[in-house]
């Protein structure tokens, strides 16, 4: 009840919690959070619990041009010996790094640096006389480094976002990777390195990933918490970011998806409805040439017999599939 009276929101999970206050004045926010902290401290002490004051953090999201965020005077001296709770410059939450203006420079800097460190560590792979070939280096970069560098890029990359600085950090990381893959000189042009290494430029790679992610939203059900259909028109006009980008690009999708299709339910699948009409012909793993040729002859026979039937559908998934199929 006290949290409601103080116009704050309280989230508790296991041994951690978050108190959120929103207003148009930094002074009002500070006083509200100070009062909410005092109420929580009183309640926790009353039920026999202890607050770890040394782990208490204070963070402000500020849209103004001023970066000054005054500390909160808690009015008492906890374990740290200081009653002033100073705001953090960055807030780490579930692997995301938030800054005061939600520019996510710290987030991109952290993960691009982590990816760059991984690229430098990969130089140790192989001996001093014989290392990895460029093809395997590119495979390692695309499968191990890029997912780290692009972790939660939706936070900062969307239409209209000011992400030039973030992209420059990722371009620096990819340049180092391209030099490692190709073995080129450090003065080589970026475009040539990416072309020789077979790497997509950073901004084009983000556009491709963002486009795929926008269309994947079509597979969500209407009751999904992030579904745009649950938003009012007035709320949509206030929202900027990836959510509204998805709303603009979903009409471009020509295919329709059903999150809970009737054909995918147990009992309605193909194998459930027609178990005696589906046949699998498995030739096995044959290594010798004579046995492989015999398997291909059997495959030709199977395909020839199937083509004679007008009411049969055949699917072949095998490396020895004839070229004329």
- Tell me how far CA of residue 75 lies from CA of 34, 43, 78, 85, 215, in angstroms: 9, 17, 10, 10, 52
Q: How far out from the chain centre does Cα 192 lie? A: 29
Residues 3-51 pLDDT 10s: 445 678 888 777 778 888 888 777 788 888 888 888 888 888 888 888 7
CA end-to-end distance (rounded Å), the chain = 72
Residues 46-91 pLDDT 10s: 888 887 777 788 888 877 666 566 677 666 544 444 567 777 888 8
Beta strands 8-13 and 72-73 are unpaired
Structural Rg of the chain based on CA atoms: 29
Which range has the worst mean pLDDT, 17-21, 206-210, 313-317? 313-317
The verdict on pTM exceeding 0.85 is no
Q: Would you give the DSSP letter of residue 86?
A: P
DSSP string, 149-178: HTTTGGGT-STT---HHHHHHHHHHHHHHH
pLDDT at 4: 44
Strand partners, 9: 20
Task: Answer yes or no: is pLDDT of 157 > 80.
Answer: yes
Q: Quote the CA–CA distance of 193 and 259 in Å, as a whole number.
A: 42
Strand partners, 10: 19
Residues 6+ apart with CB under 8 A from 279: none
Collapse the DSSP code of 85 into the 3-class scheme (helix H, G, I; strand E, B; otherwise coil) and give the result: strand
pLDDT interval class at 129 (50, 70, 90)? low
Collapse the DSSP code of 222 into the 3-class scheme (helix H, G, I; strand E, B; otherwise coil) and give the result: coil
Helix (H) or strand (E) holding 293, with range, is helix 289-307
């Amino acid at each position: 009840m006290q949290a409601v009276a103080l116009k704050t929101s309280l989230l508790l999970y296991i041994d951690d919690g978050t108190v959120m206050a929103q207003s148009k004045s930094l002074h009002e926010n500070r006083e509200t959070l100070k009062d909410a902290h005092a109420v929580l401290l009183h309640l926790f002490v009353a039920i026999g619990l202890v607050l770890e004051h040394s782990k208490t953090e204070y963070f402000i999201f500020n849209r103004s041009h001023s970066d000054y965020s005054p500390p909160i005077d808690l009015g008492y001296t906890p374990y740290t010996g200081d009653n002033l709770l100073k705001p953090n410059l960055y807030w780490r939450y579930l692997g995301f790094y938030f800054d005061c203006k939600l520019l996510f420079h710290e987030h991109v800097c952290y993960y691009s640096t982590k990816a760059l460190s991984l690229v430098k560590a990969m130089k140790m792979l192989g001996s001093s006389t014989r290392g990895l070939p460029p093809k395997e280096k590119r495979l390692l970069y695309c499968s191990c480094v890029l997912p780290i560098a692009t972790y939660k890029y939706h936070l900062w990359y969307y239409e209209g976002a000011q992400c030039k600085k973030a992209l420059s950090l990722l371009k620096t990381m990819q340049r180092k990777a391209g030099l490692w893959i190709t073995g080129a000189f450090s003065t080589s042009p970026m475009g040539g390195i990416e072309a020789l290494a077979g790497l997509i430029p950073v901004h084009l790679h983000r556009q491709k990933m963002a486009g795929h992610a926008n269309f994947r939203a079509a597979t969500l059900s209407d009751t999904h918490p992030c579904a745009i259909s649950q938003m009012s028109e007035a709320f949509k006009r206030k929202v900027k970011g990836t959510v509204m980008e998805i709303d603009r690009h979903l009409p471009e999708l020509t295919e329709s998806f059903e999150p809970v299709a009737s054909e995918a339910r147990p009992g309605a699948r193909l194998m459930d409805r027609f178990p005696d009409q589906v046949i699998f012909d498995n030739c096995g793993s044959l290594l010798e040439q004579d046995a492989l040729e015999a398997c291909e002859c059997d495959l030709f026979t199977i395909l020839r017999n199937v083509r004679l039937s007008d009411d049969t559908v055949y699917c072949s998934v095998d490396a020895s599939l004839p070229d004329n199929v």
